[in-house]
Structure 1
Amino acid sequence: MQTSRCICSTASALHRVFVIPTEQLHRLAYMSSSTWRPTPNTFASKLLVQHQRCYASMPSTARRLPRNEEIKAWSVSLRNAEGKLDPPRSTADILKSIDRASYSLVTIVAGSPGVPPICKIVSMKDEYKAAKAKQKQAKNPNATTKEVELNWAIDENDLGHRMDRVKEFLGKGYKVEVLLAKKRKGKAATMAQALGVVQRIRDTIASVEGAKESKPMEGKILETATIFAEGKVPKPQT
């Protein structure tokens, strides 16, 4: 009996040391894999973030993603006009369905093994306009036109606020168009009052360093008129 009890005790000890920890590890591994398995939405979100970080860190010449026949994936997911993703479609079928003289199939997020790239159909005309605007913006980042509207019979307080805006825009190097028109309701302005408004606008332009009238006033006093001005582009701070 004593020998049997000893054998049982030894077997129990070995079971506690080797078998139970192994079972616990298996259970933990199973729970971990079932609990932390990413959902498709989570996976897609992480994939998008990873691609965005990757391409943001690349030189601009290497950031261009494939378009049209450069796309080697058999299928792609199209981003529709609402910004949502359509189910994957054959790349070849999409290219056949669009007017290639006016539109292009452009990759916006590169694919990965088992995940098709995300693409959109873009207008070549819109792309050209966007590229020209970007080029113009790069040459002169302050080439922005601001409009300030007022009427000939504007009161002194409102006129002061509008002139503050004109000074602010000109100080930033913007082009400014001051639009003058008749007051829709109420007492009409006199010629003297209208001339005073024009002079106030010109004095405001002259008060901003480097600002000037860019071309003669268009229109007629007491009717509809536009005064054009442009500010001096501030030098970048070093």
Structure 2
Amino acid sequence: MMKRLYGLASISQALRYAFSHSRHSRRISQALLLNESLTQWHLRPRIASPAGPATKISLRYASSKSGLEHLKQNEEVDEVIQVVGENGLGLPTRSSEVLRTLDRSQYTLVQVAPASEGRAAVCKIMSKKEIYEQERAKAKAARAAKTSTKTLELNWAIDSHDLEHRLKQVRGFLEKGRIVEIIMTRKKGKRPPTEEEVQGLYESVMEMIEEEQAVETKAREGKLGQTLMLTIAKRKQ
């Protein structure tokens, strides 16, 4: 090799030759180090099925209350990622390579955890059906929460401060689209209410219903001064 070096036209040529042919030369570029790591990630010619069950790290982010719509997907994900699958985290790879082999008509690349020290951003390959089912379940839960019935019990002899607090709660439920059952009754162990208290509570409740533009959705049950239940909801515009 040394004889060959002496025969080169210039020192620079000798250095280039030595660098390119030495078995012990090390890569000195960070980009080359990254590429060396990336070449260890073997992708199949075409990804035909999503990754297997997610590990704890993916579940922690993918099941967040914000939902999948707030997570990076496809071209939005980081440049260098690790894909989570049934065997845990894969080696670092370029997201562009994963997307190039991904069947976009059926699957989506979702970033479920940001990059951290010593680990690239974590992504999961999810089927569009899986994403649709998750969003559908979330919407169903939201509708159920919105239409669920709230029940508040009011003592005919309730003091003004407690009444103000309870009516404020009713207003809040109505604003959220909830159905509210208001039960006005005599509490056991409490003193009997006066006629003025009974009439005053009833009028306060009816005034609140009118101010909130609410309506009774069911026939009222019971009797004034004993137990009276009103079921109300916000009037549909």
TM-score norm. by structure 1 comes to 0.45
With normalisation by structure 2, the TM-score equals 0.46
More helix by share: 1
